Structure 1
Amino acid sequence: MNDNERLSALLVEFYEKLSSWEHAVVRGSALTLPQTHTLEILGQHDSLRMKELAAKMGVTTGTLTVTVDRLEKRGLVERVPHETDRRSVLVTLTPAGRELCREHHALHLRLTGELAAALSEAEVESLVVILHKLSQAF
């Protein structure tokens, strides 16, 4: 097995474990994984147009509409008119959505802490640099 094959296998294994953890966390809530990801992305931005949010999630606006409809019914997001573009609608978190997002973020921080505990400080710093470079490649 060459380096590229080993790296690919390790990335797949890590992704599967991370996905399994995410599904376990979501299983304990009333939200689906796509709904949780929608809240996470909105938590990083004040508000986004549907098209922008769909692009960040890697889904169509049609798929996102269903997710946003369900989150809106739960009182977690709201659609508001765009200030300058009458054709656009912004999706934003409600106070309840922000609170849920904060709670989920705390779970991410806990997992990150658990993962980082297995690494030295230098390894954590190296991992940050490597992950940043990989993120820039997309």
Structure 2
Amino acid sequence: MKVRQLARQIVEFYEKISSWENSVVKGSGLTPSQMHTIEIVGHEGRLRMRELAEKKGVTTGTVTVTVDRLEKEGYLRREAHEKDRRSYEIVLTDKGEELFKRHHEYHVSLTEEMAAALTEEEMALFSGILSKVNGVF
């Protein structure tokens, strides 16, 4: 397989996932970036701003704007770090947790749809490939 063909397939896969994600997020009143922030915090539990920025691949300034908005909307809150009083951790509120769980179920449903087209062996192979590729970034 040629790299150019693989590049085209990756772009097509990204566009389909992105389009699906945008359609799911559309009804929430949030941007995909804001929802992604909720997803990360939902999976991780508690994160410092710096850690959240690293996971999103943005600056702490950029993530601060997002967290400010999500805190104002009642999805996130800042809590003083247990060991470092100068630092805050970002956590989901009950409202944020509810949204995270609902949104995560959409991801599970999408994954079930994709998995239905694959054999068990192909799913294991796909999972291994995704893990390896995700480790590159």
TM-score by length of 2: 0.95
Percent of aligned positions with the same letter in both sequences? Answer: 54
In the other structure, the counterpart of 2:11 is 12
Superposed displacement of residue 51, structure 1: 0.8
In the other structure, the counterpart of 1:60 is 59
How is 1:19-34 mapped onto 2 (pairs within 5 angstroms)? 19-34=18-33
Superposed displacement of residue 96, structure 1: 1.1
Q: CA RMSD in A?
A: 1.0
Q: For residues 18 and 4 of structure 2, what CA distance do their matches in structure 1 show?
A: 21
Moved more, 100-109 or 69-78: 69-78
- How many residue pairs get aligned? The number is 137
Superposed displacement of residue 135, structure 1: 1.4
Letter in 2 for 1:105: H
Q: Secondary structure at the match of 1:80?
A: strand
Letter in 2 for 1:104: H
How is 1:68-87 mapped onto 2 (pairs within 5 angstroms)? 68-87=67-86
Q: For residues 58 and 133 of structure 1, what CA distance do their matches in structure 2 show?
A: 18
**Structure 1 unmatched runs, 5+:** none
**Structure 2 unmatched runs, 5+:** none
Q: For residues 128 and 84 of structure 2, what CA distance do their matches in structure 1 show?
A: 39
Q: For residues 119 and 83 of structure 2, what CA distance do their matches in structure 1 show?
A: 49
Superposed displacement of residue 60, structure 1: 1.1
Letter in 1 for 2:59: T
Superposed displacement of residue 24, structure 1: 0.7
Structure 1 position 44 matched with structure 2 position 43:
yes
- 1:7-57 CA-to-partner distances (Å, cap 9, x unmatched) read 111001100111011111111211111110000000111211111101100
Q: Secondary structure at the match of 2:117?
A: coil
